[in-house]
Structure 1
Amino acid sequence: GFIHGLKGKVSNNQGEGKIEKYRKFAMKKKYKGFGPTLLAEALEEECGWGKICPESLRLKMIRWGLWIPKKRNEKVKRKKRERRGKEGMMVQFDGSYHDWLEDGLERCMLLAIDDATSNLKKIKMTKGETLIDMEKYWKEYFEEYGKPQVIYLDCHATYKVNHERDMFDEEMLTRFQRAMGKLGVEIIYSKTPEGKGRVERAFKTLQDRLVKKMRIKNIKTVKDMEKYINEEYIEEHNKKFGKEAKESGDYHLDFTEKDKENYHWYFAKENERTIKRDGTIQYNKKIYQLEKGQKLYKGKKLIVKETTKGEIKIFSGNVELDYYIRKSI
């Protein structure tokens, strides 16, 4: 057959000077670790050199020793779970600890993505996956989008009781489980990372793409990071990686006024206490005197609820009781 005269040579449309510029650009410290696709985008945005083919750039980077081709491993074939049909039917949620600002400190990123579209819905940086962090995160999510019908997450201790003895004891539900139950949001647990593959893949992309974009923009603080994510990155990411839902419409449920009013109490710690002969109960090193005229008697069981903010309410069944703190112990 015929062999093209330019085989192994530089294209007539691309001189050595431009290729050398590409190479020098790719070797700059702030572009260290960039893959061909992201580097092509950076070249287009930073230098205004027009459309660059990532595949052509990949071959050049291999030749320059800046990119190692990935080996194709034999993957275990798994049956893919069908996406939910509409936005808001289910969100996948997880947290990821990573050196997001490349300053040597690992921080936790909380992320929810829509199952129907793979769109990033909400990103928040926190100290960890604690109950207080969950309470704040989901309140902000519900206020912005409404309540998803289902939250799909892992078996982290915050979200689920993991001790075998307590696994099926309804009284041992975590406060997160109980709160979501009262809000009418179903929880589905994934037992493996593959089970919530969409959010896992999203984190993999964020750990590569987001980190490098923040490096280019010289973002050094969590405040600036969250500002950039919310004002620019999420929209850009969703345009590039989001999918079209099978059906139109948003299936998020309303975050009602009742939900808003009782939200913090849904996350409250609940403890049982017994009324003493003098009409008091003891809780958290304090003696609570119950007001008279509330049809109470010695030995009656009450429920003390305490929010993450330290607010206290005392209940007899569904009836809230009046009290005052008699003294601290």
Structure 2
Amino acid sequence: MKEKETITMTKEEIRRLKIINELVDKKINGPRASIELNLSVRQVRRIKSRFLLSGPKGIIHRGRGRSSNRSMNKDKENIIRYLINNKYSYFGPTLASEYLLKHDQISVSKETLRLMMIKEGVWIPKKKRQAYHHEWRQRRDRYGEMQQFDGSYHKWFGEKESCLLLSIDDATGKISHGVFDKNEGIIAVFKFWIRYIEKNGIPKSIYLDKFSTYKINHKNAEDNKDMITQFQRASKEVGIEMIVANSPEAKGRIERGNKTLQDRLVKALKFHRITSIEEANKYLEEQFIPEFNEKFAVVPKNKENVHKAIDDGVDIEDVFSIKNQRVVCNDYTVRFENNYFQLEQTQPTT
């Protein structure tokens, strides 16, 4: 006597068996069975053939009990686990996936890596935030039409806080220039834009915040148009339009860029063991910015570059320098910061 065999089936497979039995008994036809099972007629024919050949076992999915074709090799899994615990423990899944491919020649999806990192306890899943609707401003059409500019204070490398001055092109999303400095003061900002203009040319406009380096935020400034900052004066001299944002959300591209860099750039600097501002600026310009732009930049609507060349005879370092007006006294002296400077009676004409 043939021994009875026990078959374990899910509720869905039991339902499928019932429908296939009805099909075999000709209570329903193939098209009707396909509708009931939500399968094509061709798939129903194959299941029916397996049922006639193997009985109820033919209904069970043939992949049950077998390892997935996409399952990871154990040796590879162990190597990845070692690396995420010892080399990339401070990375997020997306960045760790990129670095594993680039530096260790190991290809693994960020989702697979995320699950592994959660299991290893090196990544805590984030709760989804409630989505708020913000009206997105359309990108400008051409490269150089608008540069979003900001300074971001952070512990970028080492234990001391420094400031990353950054400009992002509105049309392409490219980092057009970036440099680390001690602060976002006028001298640091002037040095930034001198280098930017030497490298790219003069942009049409700059979109920035109400920080005092860029705009006088005194109530009298609304009525007295002569009350302008050094940066406003220099921008006006070279024909750059200054656009001031009323909130951080208004210049979201540069704000999101800074947030991204506070993750990616900080980890990259730590990974390369960079601890000085000189090394950081060298890495930023020569390696990080080109790689970032290659990954995240978009194609503008219009491929025209609207940066202007510096006019002949214009000394850009002279324009972006601190200038103050003073009155010459009757004795040909000028007072500046509580110091007196004697001028010669005969002055060259300009």
TM-score norm. by structure 2 comes to: 0.77
Q: Which has the higher strand share?
A: 1
Measured against aligned partners, the alpha-carbon deviations of 1:201-253 in whole angstroms (never above 9, x if no partner) come to: 11111111112122222222222221111111111101111111111120111
After superposition, residues 16-35 of structure 1 pair within 5 angstroms as 16-28=74-86, 30-35=87-92
Q: Which has the higher helix share?
A: 2
Q: 2:195 and 2:316 mapped to 1: Cα distance?
A: 15
Q: Look up the equivalent residue of 2:84 and give its one-letter code.
A: A
Q: What is the CA-CA distance between 1:264 and the residue it aligns to?
A: 2.1
Give the C-alpha shift of residue 32 in structure 1: 2.5
Shift of 1:279: 4.6
What is the CA deviation profile of residues 119-149 of structure 1, one whole-angstrom value per residue up to 9, with x for unaligned ones? Answer: 0111111111111111111011001000110
Residue in 2 that maps onto 1:73: 129
Q: Residue 269 of structure 1 corresponds to which residue in structure 2? A: 323
% identical aligned pairs:
36
Moved more, 281-290 or 55-64: 281-290
5 Å-filtered alignment, 1:7-156, equals 13-28=71-86, 30-49=87-106, 51-101=107-157, 103-156=158-211
Q: 1:52 to 1:269 in 2, by over 3 A?
A: same
Partner SS state of residue 286, structure 1: strand
Structure 2 Cα separation of the partners of residues 240 and 266 of structure 1: 33
Contact 2:194 2:320 in 1 (8 A): no
Looking at structure 2, the residues matched to 115 and 274 of structure 1 have their Cα atoms a distance apart, in angstroms, of 45
Q: What's the secondary structure of 2:151's corresponding residue?
A: strand
Distance in structure 1 (CA, Å) of the matches to 2:335 and 2:75: 81
- CA, structure 1 residues 193+282, in 2 after alignment: closer, same or farther (shift >3 Å)? closer
- Structure 2 residue matching 1:197: 3-state secondary structure: helix
The structure with the largest alpha-carbon Rg is: 2
Cα separation, 2, equivalents of 1:86 and 1:106 = 35
**CA distance, structure 2, for counterparts of residue 22 and residue 11 of structure 1:** 19
1:175 aligns with 2:230: yes
State the partner residue of 1:301: none
- Counterpart residue number, 1:298: none
Once the two structures are TM-superposed, the CA of residue 167 in structure 1 deviates from its matched residue by: 3.5
Structure 1 length-normalised TM:
0.81
Deviation track 1:9-48 (CA, whole Å, cap 9, x = no partner) reads 77664233322221121111x4232111111112212322
Q: What is the alpha-carbon distance in structure 2 between the residues aligned to residue 246 and residue 62 of structure 1?
A: 41
Comparing 263-272 with 180-189, greater Cα deviation is found at 263-272
Q: In the superposition, relative to structure 1, how do residues 117 and 143 fare at CA in structure 2: closer, same or farther (>3 Å)?
A: same
Q: Distance in 1 between matches of 2:238 and 2:65?
A: 67
